[in-house]
Chains A and B, each alone.
Chain A
Amino acid sequence: MRDALLSVHDFSVTYDVDPPVEAVKNVTLELRRGEILGLAGESGCGKTTLAYGVQRLLKAPALITSGSVVFHDASGEDVEVDRLDAEQMRRFRWDKVSMVFQGAMNALNPVAPIGAQLEDVFVVHRPSMSRAERREAVAELLEIVKVGRQRARSFPHELSGGMRQRVMIAMALALRPQLMVMDEPTTALDVLVQREILRQISQLRHEFGFTVVFITHDLPLLLEISDRIAIMREGEIVELDTAERIWSNPQDGYTKTLLSSFPRLTGERGVVVR
């Protein structure tokens, strides 16, 4: 059994509107070092709120009403994420845990070259680096994600959707975080580009050994890439198991519904539940 990277205990988030919405309800979850955990569920199930919440990225009216989040750093130190002050939190984010945001293709600044946007990460988090070192680090990142160093001066609109997504992954990779949270990273891409990006994520994970939380509603995709899958519904994790067992022996009724909502690509034709 691999050791834990992140322990979430009894975590709840409420949107303090009228009437209040309990978006995440008493979630307890242990993320293992090096695994890909798939987080699946339909819109409004709380999967994004959970992923943002554990990094304290939520704004009012969202309110964390209970729970603790402990990050087990590779150095052996345990970081209680909910106890960090603002400056500690700023250092923690992106350095230990980075994100590839939903709609990442449009998350880039349209009026700045991508190289400059990648450099910003180092300006903020690695102030001791010289300009030349930053340039070199950016060039290296762009090589790693196969966009190519010569594109550092390109603007986002000059890149295809797939390339922009790679730039976002490069950005998330910049500080060699131990955990990467990916929120629907391939949803807007067509299947061929999606497959390339997935290959790349898997390859980078082998190379750099980070852990991935992969959020999507696309269960067939998760079944292929995840080690374990958590199924969320109405703020609760209704089932958490290895991808193989979720596929072959789902326990929860909702998991079964989700599984049967996707027609099989190759299985028997017409096996589509009504």
Chain B
Amino acid sequence: MTVLEFDHVTKVYSVRGAGQMKALDDVSFTLESGRTIGLVGQSGSGKSTIAKILTQLETPTSGQVRLDGQPIPRRGAGLRAYRQTLRMVFQDPFASLNPYHSIRYHLERPLRLDAVVPKAELEDEVRRLLHRVRLEPDAVIDRRPHELSGGQRQRVAIARALASRPSLLVADEPVSMLDVSLRLGVLNLLADLGRDEGLGVLYITHDLATARHFSDEILVLNQGQVVERGTADDVILRPQHPYTRELRAASPDPEKHFASLSGSQGGTR
């Protein structure tokens, strides 16, 4: 089932004194439930504009975005319902949780606002959410964000995103601020949730290696245009577009580095 559809979306910003800037140029793609699309590109390629359009911080200049087949409502109850269907996981788990509130509060709030479960079941639902993100409820439920590690915080942020039972998760660089040994755990969690619960996941990143391992399909953006798309392995291992090749050549790749060193002395250092 198609969760998200970008249909010839263009976004033009007017820049004072510099005319117009096309942040997105005729971008089309669809995301099926249970699948993950990796959105890669360098700074300024348009990745964040896509996230901003999805969160309604921007509206497209032309084209249409549909979630579960419906165009994004502009206001009112429709917008509220939309925001229940699409949830974000942000880059910085230190900034996206409120330091004054307990983990329980963070998870109860979306449950209450969206009336997901009756009041009497709030506690059970919070515990269930913590279980789903592989956190031990008793160990974290009454704690505040500063008492948790970065990885635990990001899991709480994911649990919060899941609370209103969305059909799409937009994860914007969800692990780039985490310690390296915690990153795979969080990415594996997102992958499992996508697969097991039929969530569509839009994984926005500049890290080609994790995009390859955690996406079914990869879209490469450059200057607002999708320059290449395909299965993750095709795009990364057999890139067709010069820009994708450039991105790949710039990404650290010790395997290739040491292979080229032993093959021909000198290498490409």
Interface residues of A (CB under 8 A from B): 42-43, 161, 190-195, 202, 217-221, 223-225, 244, 247-248, 257-258, 261-267, 269-270, 272-274
Contact B184 A261 (CB under 8 A): yes
Contact of B206 among A191, A219, A244 (CB under 8 A): A191
Contact A221 B252 (CB under 8 A): yes
Nearest neighbor of A162 in chain B, beta-carbon distance: B43
Please report the C-alpha to C-alpha distance between residue A262 and residue B208 in the assembled complex, in whole angstroms.
11
Contact B209 A262 (CB under 8 A): yes
Residues of A within 8 A of B179 (CB): 42-43, 217
Contact A265 B184 (CB under 8 A): no
Contact of B180 among A161, A219, A247, A273 (CB under 8 A): A219
Nearest neighbor of A40 in chain B, beta-carbon distance: B180
Please report the C-alpha to C-alpha distance between residue A116 and residue B87 in the assembled complex, in whole angstroms.
47
- Does B70 sit within 8 A of A, measured CB to CB? no
A209 to chain B, nearest CB (A): 16
- Does B42 sit within 8 A of A, measured CB to CB? yes
Contact B250 A192 (CB under 8 A): yes
Residues of B within 8 A of A247 (CB): 254, 258
- Does B135 sit within 8 A of A, measured CB to CB? no
- Does B265 sit within 8 A of A, measured CB to CB? no
Interface residues of B (CB under 8 A from A): 42-43, 179-181, 183-185, 188, 206, 208-210, 212-214, 232-233, 236-237, 246-258, 261, 269
A216 to chain B, nearest CB (A): 10
Asked if A217 meets B209 with Cβ closer than 8 Å, knowing A265-B252, A265-B253, the reply is no
Residues of B within 8 A of A265 (CB): 208-209, 212, 236, 248, 251-253, 255-256
Contact B183 A191 (CB under 8 A): no
Asked if A263 meets B184 with Cβ closer than 8 Å, knowing A192-B247, A225-B269, the reply is yes
Please report the C-alpha to C-alpha distance between residue A267 and residue B261 in the assembled complex, in whole angstroms.
17
Please report the C-alpha to C-alpha distance between residue A261 and residue B212 in the assembled complex, in whole angstroms.
15
10 tightest A-B CB contacts, nearest first: A220-B252, A195-B250, A223-B254, A190-B42, A263-B213, A42-B179, A221-B252, A191-B250, A265-B209, A265-B253
Contact A264 B209 (CB under 8 A): yes
> Knowing that A192-B247, A247-B254, A247-B258 are A-B contacts, what are 15 other residue pairs whose CB atoms are under 8 Å apart, sorted by A's residue number?
A42-B179, A42-B180, A42-B181, A190-B42, A190-B43, A191-B247, A195-B249, A220-B254, A223-B252, A223-B254, A224-B252, A225-B269, A265-B208, A269-B212, A269-B213
Contact of B255 among A257, A264, A273 (CB under 8 A): A264
Contact A266 B253 (CB under 8 A): yes
Nearest neighbor of B208 in chain A, beta-carbon distance: A265
Please report the C-alpha to C-alpha distance between residue A193 and residue B45 in the assembled complex, in whole angstroms.
13
Residues of A within 8 A of B181 (CB): 42, 257-258, 261
Residues of A within 8 A of B208 (CB): 191, 265
Please report the C-alpha to C-alpha distance between residue A193 and residue B179 in the assembled complex, in whole angstroms.
22
Please report the C-alpha to C-alpha distance between residue A259 and residue B212 in the assembled complex, in whole angstroms.
17
Contact B261 A192 (CB under 8 A): no
Please report the C-alpha to C-alpha distance between residue A244 and residue B254 in the assembled complex, in whole angstroms.
9
Please report the C-alpha to C-alpha distance between residue A26 and residue B252 in the assembled complex, in whole angstroms.
32
Nearest neighbor of B254 in chain A, beta-carbon distance: A223
Residues of A within 8 A of B183 (CB): 261
B151 to chain A, nearest CB (A): 11
Nearest neighbor of A259 in chain B, beta-carbon distance: B254
Residues of A within 8 A of B212 (CB): 263, 265, 269
Asked if A191 meets B254 with Cβ closer than 8 Å, knowing A261-B184, A273-B184, the reply is no
Contact B42 A261 (CB under 8 A): no
Residues of B within 8 A of A262 (CB): 180, 209
Residues of A within 8 A of B247 (CB): 191-192
Contact A218 B252 (CB under 8 A): yes
Contact of B188 among A217, A220, A274 (CB under 8 A): A274
9 A–B contacts from the bound complex (CB under 8 Å):
A191-B42, A191-B251, A192-B42, A195-B249, A223-B258, A262-B209, A265-B212, A265-B236, A266-B255
Among A202, A225, A263, A267, the one with the most B-chain Cβ atoms within 10 Å of its Cβ is: A263
Contact of B258 among A192, A195, A244, A263 (CB under 8 A): A244
Residues of A within 8 A of B254 (CB): 220, 223-224, 247
Please report the C-alpha to C-alpha distance between residue A263 and residue B257 in the assembled complex, in whole angstroms.
15
Please report the C-alpha to C-alpha distance between residue A225 and residue B248 in the assembled complex, in whole angstroms.
17
